[in-house]
Amino acid sequence: MKMQINGKAVESYSGEFFDIINPATGELIDQVPKGTEYDVEIAVEAASSAFNCWASTSPQQRARILYTAAGVVRQRKDELAILLTREQGKPFAESKNEIEGFANVLEYYCGLVSSFHGDFIPVPQNGYSFTIKKPLGVCAAIIPWNMPALIMAWKISPALIAGNTLVLKPASNTPLTNLTLASILSEAGLPPGVINIVTGPGEVVGESLVKNPQVKKISFTGEARTGKRVAELAAGGMKRVTLELGGSDPMIVCDDANLETAVSGALRGRFYNCGQTCTAVKRLFVFESVAEEFIKKLEASIRNLRVGNGLHENIDMGPLNNCRQREYIKELVADVEEKDEGRIVAGGRVPEGSAYSRGYFFEPTLVVDVQRESRLLKEEVFGPVLPVVQVKNLEEAIEEANNTCYGLGASIWTKNIDRVRTGCEQLNAGIIWINQHLKVAPEVPFGGAGESGIGKENGPDALSEYLDLKALMLKI
Ligand code: NAD
């Protein structure tokens, strides 16, 4: 596949390509151009030239185009989901959810089209004051590989509906779905240059985008370490940034929780997308009094998970997305074993058999009695390993849960309203779930505290991240 600049499919000036590999089979699926700084310049120029016209297109017309694109995405859902599974690895059903999520987010922002106007503000001494909201100009969207379609929608929908133009940089190893979705938007009527996609390495394409003086805002999703680099570079140009970074979400299971529901919640919360979700359950704290029963049920359910190629039938969990990620997970598990910092009661290995020999598979893994100093509790475990820690009560659980630099999501499982209130008030997280984990919706603001980032995506508030608010004061 080629990059997309100014409405055309183009190759990179480097003349080089890199391989996109199916993580379940190790097969080459496609090649994409290895973009350069020069490609970024051309793409930003295209977005800049398209800006005035797009910004002065009526918001209703912008919405009509995005709405048409959402309809085509729904019609082509299966084909897009197959592509997503082939490049990313997740089971087909999860890919379908993600593609539907893309269309939902697009449609949600179309529905907000009449909502982002300024205000009239009366001021003392017969003064009149107004505010107006204007698009910012060229925005950059930098996307990770774990949920490429959904995160693309989170960024492009508010940006485009607000009248901005975009240059999007997909993750190096999952650009295909992003490119196909962008071509659907173009076919639906998005004028050339309004959305441009440059593929290639983060250090080159990502950094040149962030540094480009014509780029007014950067919306980045990825690791905290990369986010800090992006923030540092953006500060040089005093640019607006939204940073959606990593997380180490705690799940707290109280002694009055419905344990069956909590087990399914932990299963989905941890092993959805092979554990590669920013808000996955990355640390589980269970009250001592119910720990034995809960762990027994959890272990049995984990052993029942069917691992395999996401395009095959009845698969619960696919492979990790890439070799580096699987090596990291293997290293974390080996570290626990070596230092005797926890007991592996399920999984812990690369599955055996020819079906797994060429992909990046790892067994769904349960580690109990995890020691506080273990890397499993200190780092963002972005893979299918669930560390469980026993706690005496809610106070101890919250203290442990907050013992992290992250603050993305957290969940509390209880029927007791006082515990719900305490958890909501004291857990340090941007989103707190009660008796569920992982659910997101286009209507609900999403974003973390601490090293999980700055700013929000989703919901009406995300629109203001893409609009400049000007105040006008009149004396008559
Ligand atoms: P990553 O930081 O390695 O890469 C993210 C994107 O940044 C990629 O497109 C990459 O090419 C680009 N990039 C890399 N170096 C760059 C640089 N120096 N300058 C500019 N861009 C650069 O992250 P990843 O491994 O692709 O994604 C996994 C991470 O994303 C996890 O930490 C996960 O928790 C996080 N994540 C967060 C959210 C959220 O909304 N908070 C959602 C999904 C994923």
Q: Which of 208, 221, 465 to mutate to test the pocket of ligand 1 (most atoms within 8 A of CB)?
A: 221
Report in angstroms the alpha-carbon separations of 162 from 52, 72, 156, 178. 12, 22, 10, 21
* Exposed/middle/buried for residue 134 (C-beta within 10 Å: 0-12, 13-18, 19+): middle
Ligand 1 atom with the smallest distance to the CA of 171 is 9
Q: Is 247 a pocket residue for ligand 1 (Cβ < 6 Å)?
A: yes
**DSSP structure string for 340-401:** T-SEEEE--SPPPSGGGSSS-----EEEES--TTSHHHHS---SSEEEEEEESSHHHHHHHH
Q: Is 171 a pocket residue for ligand 1 (Cβ < 6 Å)?
A: yes
d(CA 342, CA 339) in angstroms, rounded, equals 8
d(CA 321, CA 17) in angstroms, rounded, equals 20
Select from 12, 21, 298, 51 the least CA-distant residue to 166. Answer: 51
Q: How far is the CA of 315 from the centre of ligand 1 (A)?
A: 27
Report in angstroms the alpha-carbon separations of 196 from 75, 135, 167, 169, 215. 23, 17, 5, 9, 13
Cα 347-311-91 angle, rounded to 5 deg: 55
Q: Is 219 a pocket residue for ligand 1 (Cβ < 6 Å)?
A: no
pLDDT tens digits, the chain, 476 residues: what are they?
A: 999 999 999 999 899 999 999 999 999 999 999 999 999 999 999 999 999 999 999 999 999 999 999 999 999 999 999 999 999 999 999 999 999 999 999 999 999 998 888 999 888 877 789 999 999 999 999 999 999 999 999 999 999 999 999 999 999 999 999 999 999 999 999 999 999 999 999 999 999 999 999 999 999 999 999 999 999 999 999 999 999 999 999 999 999 999 999 999 999 999 999 999 999 999 999 999 999 999 999 999 999 999 999 999 999 999 999 999 999 999 999 999 999 999 999 999 999 998 899 999 999 999 999 999 999 999 999 999 999 999 999 999 999 999 999 999 999 999 999 999 999 999 999 999 999 999 999 999 999 999 999 999 999 999 999 999 999 998 76
Task: For 301, list phi and psi in degrees, rounded to 5.
Answer: -70, -40
| 163, containing H or E segment | none
Q: How far is the CA of 64 from the centre of ligand 1 (A)?
A: 31
- Is residue 65 within 8 A of residue 156, CB to CB? The reply is no
Residue nearest to atom 8 of ligand 1 (CA): 171
Report in angstroms the alpha-carbon separations of 187 from 9, 152, 154, 181. 13, 17, 20, 10
Q: Which segments of 234-311 are extended strands (E)?
A: 240-244, 249-253, 281-287
pTM score of the predicted model: 0.97
Q: Which of 150, 155, 218, 223 to mutate to test the pocket of ligand 1 (most atoms within 8 A of CB)?
A: 223
Task: For 401, list phi and psi in degrees, rounded to 5.
Answer: -60, -40
Name residue 348's beta-bridge partners: none
Residue 339 in 3-state DSSP? Answer: helix
